[in-house]
């Protein structure tokens, strides 16, 4: 009886994490939906922080685009480029843009994105800090869409909406997972706040930003949680769109996901207050959205182990279903096979992402958090992004 209860509790836990919680947050958002009060008119002044490391292939295009977006939004702005120990021509190219609204900060050594962001924010002068990355592209009205919600005094930070193009096979399943993730963030935002933001397009009130400890992997979760701990909302602005694409190789996405999930473990040490319901207004969201996903791989392994010692027709069917699911997921690692079925690619991506969470745990335990990721470089396919002037 104890083993049976344990088995069904584990199955229930997995179902709650990926289906029950989204349903709960969606229903709660409908009953107590909180819309941010926006208004037309003059937008607040911004300091746009762009942290780069060895981006001489993209920095010129990105600065031209971002200064164009600022001009079209009609905002008072400065652009602060932080070169984080770049060893290529990134600083040389960035210096050509210096003057007027663009400033360059050169860090002599590579200290990591968290430290570079904090350095850029300390140098900022304006009311709103806006964050962007080097690779993506923003829609023409993205800046204005990002800033309008700050008319609501309860809003402390805003996340934009990152549309990511995915290739066929397993990466199509990863793309489906990202759309599910964005839907969940919108629902959390309707209720109170989303847990984390999109680092490629986000903004925060300068008075609410707190320096990020050096070596922090998830800067785009750490500082938004600091905002909610101060009693402000972090909302998702679907109209503020940026565009990117996934790498072609599953291995590259796996490494990126290991880094992200290792960062979630790291957050528990860096910001333990998020585990206290009387301190954290989004306590349930953090547990269900972030922490429980870290535990799902262990629940899946334990459920399979318990199922092996349970007898009866129901448990025999359950065991066969698990074995079949994992066999299909393994088959889906072959791109030609995964191309044939979206369901198959989704199953494979589910197993790959949970395998990444399992590896992330050991990275964290053995102190390999800072070495859990190496930058993945790739070029977008032609016409990869929507055509935006």
Please give the tally of structural domains in the chain.
1
User: Mean pLDDT, to the nearest integer, of 308-336?
Assistant: 88
Q: Give tens-digit pLDDT for 223-249.
A: 999 999 999 999 999 999 999 887 666
Q: Give tens-digit pLDDT for 213-224.
A: 998 999 999 999
Q: Give tens-digit pLDDT for 271-291.
A: 999 999 999 999 999 999 999
Does residue 341 sit in helix, strand or coil?
coil
Question: How far is residue 115's CA from residue 214's CA, in Å, rounded to a whole number?
Answer: 5
For the chain, percent of residues with pLDDT exceeding 70: 88
- Using CA atoms, how far residue 77 sits from 46, 67, 97, 122, 159, in Å, is 5, 9, 14, 16, 19
CATH number for 246: 3.90.550.10
- Residue 234: the pLDDT is 96
Most confident of 165-169, 174-178, 202-206: 202-206
**Whether the Cβ atoms of residue 223 and residue 209 lie closer than 8 Å to each other:** yes
**pLDDT: which is higher, 383 or 119:** 119
99: phi then psi, degrees, rounded to nearest 5: 125, 145
pLDDT reading at 43 higher than 60: yes
Q: Could you tell me the sign of the dihedral formed by the alpha carbons of 162, 167, 168, 173, in that order?
A: negative
- Residue 1: the pLDDT is 82
Could you tell me the residue range of the domain that residue 331 belongs to? 1-389
DSSP structural state of residue 42: P
Question: How far is residue 324's CA from residue 186's CA, in Å, rounded to a whole number?
Answer: 34
pLDDT reading at 172 higher than 70: no
Q: For residue 153, give both structure tokens.
A: 């005094």
Sorting pLDDT into bands at 50, 70 and 90, what band is 169? low
Question: How far is residue 7's CA from residue 303's CA, in Å, rounded to a whole number?
Answer: 5
């Amino acid at each position: 009886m104890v083993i049976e209860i344990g088995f069904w509790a584990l199955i229930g836990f997995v179902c709650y994490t990926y289906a029950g919680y989204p349903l709960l947050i969606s229903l709660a958002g409908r009953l107590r939906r909180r819309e941010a009060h926006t208004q037309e008119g003059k937008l607040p002044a911004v300091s746009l922080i762009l942290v780069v490391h060895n981006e001489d292939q993209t920095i010129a295009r990105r600065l031209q685009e971002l200064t164009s977006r600022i001009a079209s939004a009609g905002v008072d702005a400065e652009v602060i480029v932080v070169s984080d120990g770049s060893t290529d021509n990134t600083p040389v190219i960035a210096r050509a843009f210096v003057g007027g609204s663009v400033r360059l900060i050169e860090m002599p050594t590579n200290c990591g994105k968290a430290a570079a962001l904090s350095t850029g924010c300390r140098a900022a002068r304006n009311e709103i800090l806006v964050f962007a990355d080097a690779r993506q592209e923003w829609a023409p009205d993205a800046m204005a869409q990002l800033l309008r919600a700050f008319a609501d005094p309860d809003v402390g930070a805003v996340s934009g909406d990152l549309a990511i193009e995915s290739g066929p096979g397993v990466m199509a399943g990863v793309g489906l997972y990202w759309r599910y993730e964005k839907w969940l963030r919108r629902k959390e935002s309707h209720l109170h706040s989303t847990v984390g933001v999109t680092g490629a397009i986000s903004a925060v009130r300068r008075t609410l930003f707190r320096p990020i400890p050096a070596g922090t992997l998830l800067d785009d979760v750490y500082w938004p949680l600091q905002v909610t701990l101060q009693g402000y909302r972090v909302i998702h602005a679907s109209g503020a769109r940026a565009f990117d694409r996934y790498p072609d190789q599953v291995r590259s996405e796996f490494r990126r996901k290991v880094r992200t999930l290792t960062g979630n473990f790291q957050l528990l040490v860096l910001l333990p207050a998020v585990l206290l319901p009387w301190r954290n207004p989004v306590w349930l969201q953090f547990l269900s959205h972030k922490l429980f996903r870290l535990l799902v791989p262990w629940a899946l392994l334990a459920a399979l182990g318990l199922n092996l010692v349970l007898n009866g027709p129901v448990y025999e069917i359950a065991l066969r279903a698990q074995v079949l699911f994992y066999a299909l997921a393994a088959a889906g690692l072959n791109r030609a096979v995964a191309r044939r079925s979206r369901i198959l690619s989704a199953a494979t991506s589910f197993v790959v992402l949970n395998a990444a969470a399992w590896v992330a745990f050991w990275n964290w335990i053995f102190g390999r958090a800072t070495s859990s990721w190496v930058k993945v470089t790739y070029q977008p396919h032609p016409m990869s992004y929507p055509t935006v002037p």
